[in-house]
Structure 1
Amino acid sequence: MNSFKTFIAATALATVAFTGAALAGDMTISKPWARASAGMAKAGAAFMFIYNETGMDDTLVAAKADVSKKVELHTHLMEGGVMKMREVEGGIPVKNGTTQELKPGSYHVMFMGLNEPLKEGSSFPVTLVFEHAGEKTIKVEVMGPGAMGDMAKHKMGGMQNMDHGNMPGMGQ
């Protein structure tokens, strides 16, 4: 009888573990990239496409990387004719069956206090943390300083008037 209870408990744990792994596998991250650092810049950003085919809505709640002292999820908003970058509160939504694009001038992963400049042609790991799908580690490719990745059609209007607030490492 004792071995039967052990078998049932082990089966339940295996089912939970398998379901979690399958869910995380259904969150597809494609074309992750970052721009090479310009000059002595102490900040950088990563962009990508996140496709959710998990069967449920999810949220990107955090990101982790060793390339900087701090990693945050950010977005841009227009205030008084000035584009401002701010940390996203509550995470970045990724609805089931859709693609959430992290791109210049919109949602992105922000690296503040870079340990060293991001060099064109290099790459680095970033772990994305989802509310339901768990963690997924990706490799971010570093492109040239003016790169637009696969977002070449995206317009960057207003970027010359960007206000980064009081974010450390932004050269202010």
Structure 2
Amino acid sequence: MFKTTLIAAAVAATLPFAAFAESMIEVHDAYARSSGAAAKSGAAFMMLHNHGDTDDRLVAASSPAAERLELHTHIADADGVMKMREIEGGIEMPAGGEHVMARSGDHVMFLGLTAPFEQGAMIPLTLTFEKAGDVEIEVMVDLERMPSGHGMKHGSAGEGHKGHKMAQ
């Protein structure tokens, strides 16, 4: 009995590390915005890191905060006007790389909000990666944040990593 338990424990202990070595996604500084209380849509922004040894791809997002979510980007049309478009095929996450999801760039679009985004509220968000699978995070609504640099805010200790999560 003891030997079987010991072997089972050893096998179980190695499984998370094998998945961890293959692909590890880290999410930093996630926040969400909408244009106001009557808004029917909103967006989430964040920094994604792939600390794994394998390329991955963000392929979908879901949340009870909206009827549907899409991965969006801004593209200039023939007249140079920026327009939002859904990203077909997802967002590449090269091994050891990072991807900024910021205002006027790539972002998670919430369509058909189920309730208004209220300042300071936490919104559950599931990011689905091709290899890492689902990464569940809580995204703080920050209606006051202004874009700066790459769209990320780095405050005092503990403030700059709200919404931080790793997939293993």
Q: State the secondary structure of the residue aligned to 2:19.
A: helix
Alpha-carbon contact 2:26-2:49 (below 8 Å) kept: yes
Give the match for residue 153 of structure 1: 149
Q: CA deviation at 1:82?
A: 1.5
Cα pair 1:32 1:141 within 8 Å, conserved = yes
Q: Does the 8 Å contact 2:57/2:93 carry over to 1? A: yes
TM-score w.r.t. length of structure 2:
0.75
The answer as to 2:99 corresponding to 1:100 is yes
Map Cα deviations across residues 10-32 of structure 1 (whole Å, 9 max, x no partner).
x5x986665335655x2110000
Q: Is the CA contact (8 Å cut-off) linking 1:58 and 1:132 kept in structure 2? A: yes
- The residue type paired with residue 54 of structure 1 is G
Flag structure 1 segments of 5+ consecutive residues without an equivalent: 1-6, 156-172
Letter in 2 for 1:58: D
C-alpha separation in 1, matches of 2:61 and 2:52: 19
Corresponding residue number in structure 2 for 1:4: none
Equivalent positions of 1:1-172 (< 5 A) are: 19-20=18-19, 23=22, 26-80=24-78, 81-144=80-143, 146-148=144-146, 151-154=147-150
1:147 Cα deviation after fit: 2.2
Amino acid at match of 2:51: E
Instruction: Give the deviation of 1:37 after TM superposition.
Output: 3.9
Equivalence for 2:165: none
* SS of corresponding position for 1:75: strand
> Counterparts of 2:22 and 2:134 in 1: how far apart (Å)?
10
Distance 1:22 1:29 in 2: 17
Structure 2 gaps of 5+ residues are: 1-6, 152-168
CA contact (8 A) 1:49 1:102 kept: yes
Q: What TM-score does the superposition give when structure 1 sets the normalisation length?
A: 0.74
SS at the partner of 2:18? helix
Deviation of 1:72 after TM superposition, in Å, equals 0.7
**Matched residue type, 2:93:** V
The residue number in structure 2 matching 1:160 is: none
Query: Could you tell me whether the CA contact under 8 Å between 2:34 and 2:43 is conserved in 1?
Result: no
RMSD between aligned alpha carbons?
2.6
Do the aligned partners of 2:37 and 2:117 also contact (CA within 8 Å) in 1?
A: no
